[in-house]
Amino acid sequence: MDKWRYRAAELQLWLACQDLNTLKGWIRWQVALAKDWLQERPALRSFLESQYLLLGVLFLDWSLGFLPSFRPVYLVPVWWATLRTSKPFAFGAIASATIITSLIDGSNHHFGWAKWCLNFALNGSILYVLMRGLDELEARFRQVSRQATQDALTGAHNRIAFTEFCEKAIARTAVTGEGFVVALVDCDQFKALNDTYGHAFGDLVLQHLTRSLRRSLPNNAMVARLGGDEFAVAVPGRSVEWVESALFMARQRLQVSHQLEGRSVDFSFGVSQWHVQRQTLSEILGDADANLYERKRSRAGIWFEPSAMVV
């Protein structure tokens, strides 16, 4: 009888171990899923990693019996000072907040001089780590946002940013009635340039094309690379004639660029303007695309009039 009781107890122990192993395996699986989830979110992962020191300082501060209840009041001002102003001003905000909170803690707990200095150092450390963590998080968010809306090669905006910009401009134009012009641009014989001079030269052409467009257009214009050698330009508040003149100026800038080593580089463009009968972005781009290929076939309308550039 004792033998069977021993066997039953042994079986129960084995089952308990199996359940424990299953639980351990499930925990490892959940941890792996959490790590994968954080790997896909570098900004959040970086922020969490930067807060390890903060947690340690907070624990030390709590273990010494200091008063942390005032800290949430000054987190937002310090964050604002960090993001909106220079670093020296942020450090000044940290020093001021540290002195104030240390005085409050000291008056509530009747600290001696040595303990007040320690509290001052702890409060300053907490604020500094918070500032660095929040600053890093904001920088990561800006980087991710820039990568999502910017072309890596040329620095121009991408199709997503262009579409969003145009939709907002069309909605505004429908209310205000101001001009809104869209142009499609592509490099002439770009494949031949790549095949003849190499892809490095082709990349250089695209970069100079972007720079020429930006220098010739107003600051409120949008220059975007849609893919390959195809670019799009959106210019609010200007007429078709003004935009055509600006694009001809961009052609001249590109053709005289010294870094292209005297090789013949040119681009073609087609323009279209928003009006009541052409309300959607796809319709405007369709007309600009038709105008682009009409110009490519005929090379007609190649003119440049500086007087049209009057703002």
8 Å CB contact between 129 and 57: yes
The answer on pLDDT for 173 being more than 90 is: no
Pairing of strands 230-236, 222-227: antiparallel
Single pTM value for the model: 0.56
At residue 246, the pLDDT reads: 92
Q: State pLDDT tens for residues 51-106.
A: 555 555 555 555 554 455 555 555 555 555 555 555 555 566 556 666 666 666 55
DSSP symbol at 73: H
* Per-residue CA distances from 188 to 93, 201, 212, 257 (Å): 56, 14, 15, 16
Which tokens is 235 given?
């210019």
Binned at pLDDT 50, 70 and 90, residue 235 comes out as very high
Spell out the CATH class of 159-309: alpha beta
pLDDT classification of 304: cutoffs 50, 70, 90: very low
All structural domains of the chain with their residue ranges: 41-149, 159-309
Least confident among 30-39, 103-112, 128-137, 246-255: 103-112
Helix (H, G, I), strand (E, B) or coil at 230: strand
Percent of the chain clearing pLDDT 70 (strictly above): 49
User: Is the per-residue pLDDT at 216 higher than 80?
Assistant: yes
Q: Is the pLDDT of residue 185 over 90?
A: yes
CA atoms in the 13 A half-sphere facing the CB of 143 = 11
